[in-house]
Copies of this chain bind each other. A is one copy, B any other.
Amino acid sequence: MPDEPHPLHEPAPRWRRRKEARPQEIVAAAMDVFAERGFAAAKLDEVAGRAGVSKGTLYLYFPNKEELFKAVIRAAILPNLEEAERMLAADDGPSFALLERLLTMVAERVLTTRIAVVPKLVIAEAGNFPELAAFYHREVISRGFALLAGLLRRGIARGEFRPVEVEHTVRLIVAPLLFGAIWRSSFEAAVEGGPLDLRGLVAAHLDHLRRALRPEGGPS
Using a CB–CB distance below 8 Å, which chain A residues touch chain B? 35-41, 120, 122-128, 130-131, 133-134, 137, 141, 164-165, 168-169, 171-172, 174-176, 178-179, 182, 185-187, 189-191, 197, 200-201, 203-205, 207-209, 211-212, 214, 216-217, 220
CB atoms of A204 and B168 under 8 A apart: yes
Q: Which of B168, B186, B197 lies in contact with A126, CB distance below 8 A? A: B186
28 A/B residue pairs, CB under 8 Å, sorted by A:
A36-B127, A37-B128, A38-B128, A40-B40, A40-B41, A120-B123, A122-B186, A123-B182, A123-B186, A126-B189, A127-B185, A127-B189, A127-B190, A130-B189, A133-B191, A137-B190, A141-B187, A165-B200, A168-B201, A168-B205, A172-B176, A175-B178, A179-B179, A207-B212, A208-B209, A208-B212, A211-B214, A216-B220
CB atoms of B120 and A187 under 8 A apart: no
The binding surface of chain A is classed by DSSP as helix
Besides A38-B124, A165-B204, A211-B212, 4 more A-B contacts (Cβ < 8 Å) are: A123-B123, A137-B187, A137-B191, A172-B205
